[in-house]
Amino acid sequence: MNPHLRPFHLAIPVDNLEISRHFYRDILELNEGRSSDHWVDFDFFGHQLVIHLKQKMNEEASNPVDGKEVPIPHFGVVLTMETFKVYSEKLKQKNITFIIKPYIRFEGQVGEQATMFFKDPAGNALEFKAFNDITQLFAK
């Protein structure tokens, strides 16, 4: 891993600030930071995620990956395998509707990883993933 890795900043559109705030704060259990009546900051596993109030966009696309339709665009974070297992169980208990339920992708191959996809209330697609061997993150 890069010893100079710094947190990223990502700003995404949401069409209802309070519903999205509830989702990120209470469902995903992210700590809320600064906010205004048009945006809210969250601590996204050490990265800065900002939800911005904007009219709904209706573009949906996907690409086939490992026999499943992966939503494009999407964002997320790479967790440890143990954190992924605990977090995916929490999300199941909270009745998250998964686009792609938690499973092991590329099993037995280069890049083997646990992954899951779901959407926030504004339709933004999220992917959470984990590797048993983090050196596989950028493996060819």
Whether the predicted pLDDT of 128 surpasses 60: yes
- The boundaries of the domain holding residue 14 are 9-54+71-136
Residue with tokens 């890795």: 5
Given this model, what pLDDT does residue 62 score? 85
**pLDDT above 90: residue 55:** no
Residue 21 lies in a domain: yes
The residue ranking higher by pLDDT, 60 or 33, is 33
Q: Which tokens hold the place of 100?
A: 């792609």
Q: Is residue 61 a part of any domain in this protein? A: no
| Integer Cα distance of 90 and 55 in angstroms | 30
Tell whether 20 is covered by a domain.
Answer: yes
Distance, C-alpha 123 to centroid of its chain: 12
Count of the separate structural domains present in the chain: 1
Asked whether the predicted pLDDT for residue 82 surpasses 80, the reply is: yes
Domain presence at residue 62: no
| 107 band by pLDDT with thresholds 50, 70 and 90 | very high
Yes or no: say if 94 and 26 are a contact pair by the CB < 8 Å rule.
no
Q: Which residues contact 135 (CB under 8 A, 6 or more apart)?
A: none
What is the identity of the amino acid at 135? T
- CATH code for the domain of 108: 3.10.180.10
State the pLDDT at residue 113.
96
Q: Which pTM does this prediction carry? A: 0.88
Rounded to the nearest integer, the mean pLDDT of the chain is 92
- 110 in a structural domain: yes
Q: Is residue 109 part of a domain?
A: yes
In a domain, 127, yes or no: yes
Residue corresponding to tokens 């048993």:
132
At 139 the pLDDT is 85
